[in-house]
Amino acid sequence: MKKILFLLFIFVIFSCREEKKANTQKLTEGSQVRIEHAKGFSITNFNGYSIIKVNSAWPDAKDHFTYLLKKQGSEIPPDLSYDQLVEVPVEKIVVTSTTHIPALEALEVENSLKGFPGLNYISSEKTRKLINSGRISELGQNENINTEVLIDLSPDVVIGFAINSSNKSFETIQKTGIPVIYNGDWTERTPLGKAEWIKFFGALYGKEKKAEAIFNEIQEEYLAAKKLAKTAANAPEVISGSMYNDNWYMPYGNSWQAQFIEDANANYLYSDTSGDGSLSLAFESVLEKAEEADYWVSSGQFTSYEQLFNESEHYKRFKAVQENNVYSVSLTQGETGGILFYELGPQRPDLILKDLISIFHPELLKDYEPVFYKPLD
């Protein structure tokens, strides 16, 4: 009987240890947030904290970043390594790209925005009201942020926008103890990939479910519009971009802009190209290939045919110009001249796609009022 009791005692102790080990392992594994389209970040939730990993803060980034989002009052493992720590939910924030503004507004946390470099670039009427009331401070230029003003604002976090690893302003800010974390939404190659970065902001504000619901609705609208476009009887030929310093710059065929044209069931004449940045071609080369294109979209800074012809009379040789089928995003501006497309467009690809479908296939979206793309005056 003593041997039996001893064996039972050993079994109970071993079972408890195994259960404790299993529970510890379960806690350290975390729960991965579903990211369907974005390639540049991941979010993993743990008990009392989350980990955001950003691997594409800028094009061809070799630096990968790990950000710890710690809930107030929670404990974190002592051996956890990370680049920056942010206490969440965030109450005061500084962002550095207009593409960050729509996410804050969609999550209804725009009142937490305390500073921005280049306030005139912001188009949103809602955020402009905050600017006009003096609740958001001007921070100069993104390449040379006024760090003194920013430090006085004492934000919980600064969301960085950078084209490379060299940013002395961010380094100075971090030395004061204010965390800077990079957002690489602009490096994504697909429309839905850019939009999914709203989950990045959702994690900062403890609004993960709201962010997921917003993205799911955008995705549903986008896919429905794409499906509708496929029912069109024809696929018109399209060109994009414009001339600058004797070269025509246009999106590569693997860019997010080209993806919109394809999903709108149109034939982008340079869809077979690939690369980063913009494709640069001589005017004669574009004229030879695209003179008979049905539509010309994203025509640079031009807002009227008069501006177009003042730049070059040669534009008159294009069929799209002759038939008044030139569309620009530069006609939709905020009160201080910011272009809405560059601010809201990445967050609302469904609206961009519907704009293009209404242009290429007007019979599919009757009475639709475009948000971004408008015909030249």
Residue 276: per-residue pLDDT: 85
Confidence of residue 245 (pLDDT cuts 50, 70, 90): confident
The CATH label, of 3.60.21.10, 2.60.120.10, 3.40.50.1980, 3.30.70.1450, for the domain at 230-375 is 3.40.50.1980
> Is the pLDDT assigned to residue 183 strictly greater than 90?
yes
The overall pTM is greater than 0.85: yes
The reply to whether omega before 89 is within 30° of 0 (cis) is yes
> Is the pLDDT assigned to residue 318 strictly greater than 60?
yes
Confidence of residue 18 (pLDDT cuts 50, 70, 90): very low
What pLDDT digit, counting tens, does each position of 353-375 carry?
A: 999 999 999 999 999 999 999 99
> Is the pLDDT assigned to residue 338 strictly greater than 50?
yes
> Is the pLDDT assigned to residue 147 strictly greater than 80?
yes
DSSP-H helix ranges across the chain: 2-29, 101-106, 125-132, 147-153, 168-175, 191-195, 198-204, 208-229, 256-263, 283-290, 305-311, 319-322, 340-344, 349-360
Residue 141: per-residue pLDDT: 87
**For the chain, domain boundaries:** 27-218, 230-375
Residue keyed to tokens 């921005």: 116
Number of Cβ within a 10 Å radius of residue 377? 11
What value does the mean pLDDT take over residues 95-99? 97
> Is the pLDDT assigned to residue 29 strictly greater than 80?
no
Q: Do domains 27-218 and 230-375 have the same CATH topology?
A: yes
> Is the pLDDT assigned to residue 25 strictly greater than 70?
no
Residue 357: per-residue pLDDT: 98
Residue 225: per-residue pLDDT: 98
Average pLDDT across the chain, whole number: 92
Residue 28: per-residue pLDDT: 57
Confidence of residue 5 (pLDDT cuts 50, 70, 90): very low
For a pLDDT cut of 90, what percent of the chain falls above it? 83
> Is the pLDDT assigned to residue 248 strictly greater than 90?
yes
- Round to whole Å and give the CA distance between 109 and 156: 14
What value does the mean pLDDT take over residues 274-285? 92
What pLDDT digit, counting tens, does each position of 265-274 carry?
A: 999 999 999 9
CATH superfamily entry for domain 27-218: Nitrogenase molybdenum iron protein domain (3.40.50.1980)
> Is the pLDDT assigned to residue 314 strictly greater than 50?
yes
What value does the mean pLDDT take over residues 296-323? 92
Residue 203: per-residue pLDDT: 98
What value does the mean pLDDT take over residues 164-174? 90
Per-residue three-class SS string for 142-192? CCEECHHHHHHHCCCEEEECCCCCCCHHHHHHHHCCCCEEECCHHHCCCHH
What value does the mean pLDDT take over residues 119-124? 96
Q: Tell me the sheet residues that pair with 88.
A: 71
Angle at 103 between CA 100 and CA 104, to 5 degrees: 90
> Is the pLDDT assigned to residue 191 strictly greater than 50?
yes
